[in-house]
Structure 1
Amino acid sequence: MLRCDTWTGTLVPKAGMGFPRKKFAAAAVAGKILVAGGCTRSSVVEEYDPDENVWRVASDAPRRRYGCIGASADGVFYVIGGLKIGPSGNDGSVSASRASGAEAAHVYASSMDLYDVAARVWLRSRAVPGGGCVVAACGANGNVYILSSHAVELSFWKFNASRKSASFGEWSRIKSPPLPAQVRLDSTVRFSCVGVGDKVVLVQVVGCIDDLLRRSGRTERGLKEGLVLVYDCAGGEWTRGADMPEVIRRAACVCVEC
């Protein structure tokens, strides 16, 4: 692992995780970094203490996921979406051993597991309404925001993550991100999002098909990449930001207060 000093741009090597992972969920919660998923041989969740430069085993996840997304809100680590890998663990209300492969994949792609970091317990798992495949998620303004793909359209959801609220755990479908008219989705589209204050910044990190190029008969596969959209959590509206000057494919986004 590397620590980047955002003031100087320097990189400092830090202790590595105890378990090899690929396409895993990660989030900062209460001054620690938690990771889960992406490990074929274990469902272990690890926690990094930046003050001690030490990784510790925090828990075992109820589902073993690959390609999942991490988010945090109100002291809870959210492990969202992805694919099922390896034998099933403690899957809560869903028994992967009784489900078909397709059903199990659907459950993983549109669900999230909640880990209370302070209490060291897993809360009840939640399903994202409407199914689909979760392609981006982040915590912002006391909520978890989730973008789901339904092959030809996107849906955008808000999960009330404030545990002291009477409406904790409630879902709301909110305005979907407005893609340019000439762009259509396909199975390769990828987004990354991050909460910045009371905003959600959505960055397109793998291209959509440019339908105008496709219909013009040009042989190359036209792609639109680097699109940046900003959602105002208070106002409920999207605005378009400046496109990224350089696309870093499949990048993850983080917010650092300076």
Structure 2
Amino acid sequence: MSSNNLQIVPRLSVDRGNADHGWLKTFHTFSFASYQGSGHEKFGSLRVINEDRVEPKTGFGTHSHREFEIFSYIVNGELQHNDSMGNVEVLKRGDIQLTSAGTGISHSEKAHGDKQVHFLQIWSLPSISKLTPTYFTRHFTDDEKKDKWVRVVAPAGAPGVSSKREDSGPTPVQSPLTLYSTILSPSTTLPHTFPAGSSKGYIHVIQTSGYNPKAANGGAVKVSGGDGVEHVLREGDGAYISAAAGKELNVENVGDRNAEVLLFDLE
């Protein structure tokens, strides 16, 4: 990549892995479960983006993880989390829960109440192995995210990142990864400048209008960089971004409704 360019490669929703298990409707951006050998294994430290919808009174039974940073971004409904560290919590819209699995944890995640829960489960690879497992929750309101990038996850030890189990500010992750979230109004453009240390990014438009495995619909954003190349991403779509530090990405809502967008800074 030329240091003068910012390159954008779309990852369309229809090309994601997809499964409908009845109790679970899911999309996989990267190889996961039966969706293997996709050619989309990871991007930097980013290993999993699963967009899940879990039906009421169902969910993922107790299972184990190790050596992953696992966080859940709640879009709608309520998700009950139980784990081997003794954490029991019901997560709601605006909540982010992060488990640093380290040497090993077991947990379950189930829809709480009588409504479907829609959330994104995101995994990253830690910079250090054999960490002591830890658990964090944070909450960010829709108003906070309105037409601005809000830093919701950031590397542990970075400025403004608390190591407390519950606090304000970004959720601490043991990976070279920063996650921003916005709820972007129609006809609004939001720039993002890649900071020193970044060499890539990933953007994802959350599928808020409903489950649709056949075609992206709902909201739409246009992403562009300094080279004049533009791409329109609809709900469920994403894009790989290669960018030198200091390069600017512009995200414009070109649809007729709010768009909820996630943007990752990665090394």
| Alignment TM-score, normalising by the size of structure 2 | 0.36
Higher relative contact order (CA 8 A, sep 6+): 2
| Alignment TM-score, normalising by the size of structure 1 | 0.37
